[in-house]
Amino acid sequence: IMIADINQEAASASVALCAAKASKEAVAACHIDITNRESAAAAMRAAAARFGGVDGVINTAAVFLPPSPEGAFEDDKWRRTLDINVTGNWLLADEAAELFREQNLPAVIVLTGSANAVVAKRGSEAYDVSKSAVNHLIRSLAIGQAPLVRVNGIAPATVVDGSAMFPRERLIPSLRKYDIPFEDTDTTEELRHKLAEFYAQRTLSKRPITPQDCAEAIYWLASERAGKTTGHVLPVDGGLPEAFLR
Q: What is the pLDDT of residues 161-195, one digit of tens each?
A: 888 888 998 899 899 989 999 999 999 999 999 99
Model pLDDT, residue 239: 98
Instruction: Identify the pLDDT of residue 137.
Output: 99
Amino acid at 120: A
pLDDT for residue 66: 83
**In angstroms, rounded to a whole number, what is the distance separating the alpha carbons of residues 241 and 226?**
25
Q: Starting at the earlier edge strand, list the strands of the sheet with 233-236.
A: 56-59, 107-112, 149-156, 233-236
Q: Cα(105)–Cα(45) distance, rounded to whole angstroms?
A: 16
Across 147-159, average pLDDT: 98
Look at domain 55-243 and name its CATH class: alpha beta
- Cα–Cα distances in angstroms (integers) from residue 183 to residues 61, 147, 161, in the given order: 31, 54, 18
pLDDT tens sequence across 66-95: 888 788 899 999 999 999 999 999 999 999
Query: 120 or 148: which carries more pLDDT confidence?
Result: 148
Mean pLDDT of 219-227: 98
What's the confidence (pLDDT) of residue 70? 81
217 has a pLDDT exceeding 80: yes
- For residues 201 and 106, give the distance between their C-alpha atoms in angstroms, rounded to a whole number: 41
Grouping H, G, I as helix, E, B as strand and the rest as coil, residue 5 is: strand
| Cβ 197 vs Cβ 161: under 8 Å | no
Q: Three-state SS for 163?
A: coil
pTM: predicted TM-score of the whole model, two decimal places: 0.94
The identity of residue 180, as a single letter, is: I
Q: Where are the domains of the chain?
A: 55-243
The Cα 89–Cα 78 span in angstroms is: 16
Please spell the DSSP secondary structure of 54-98, one letter per residue.
-SEEEE------PPPTTS---HHHHHHHHIIIIIHHHHHHHHHHH
3-state secondary structure 176-241: HHCCCCCCCCCCHHHHHHHHHHHHHCCCCCCCCCCHHHHHHHHHHHHCHHHCCCCCCEEEECCCCH
* Spatial distance between the Cα atoms of 230 and 126, rounded to a whole number of angstroms: 27
Average pLDDT, the chain: 95
Where does residue 208 fall: left (phi above 0), alpha (psi -120 to 50 degrees), or beta otherwise?
A: beta
Q: Which helix (H) or strand (E) holds 15?
A: helix 8-21
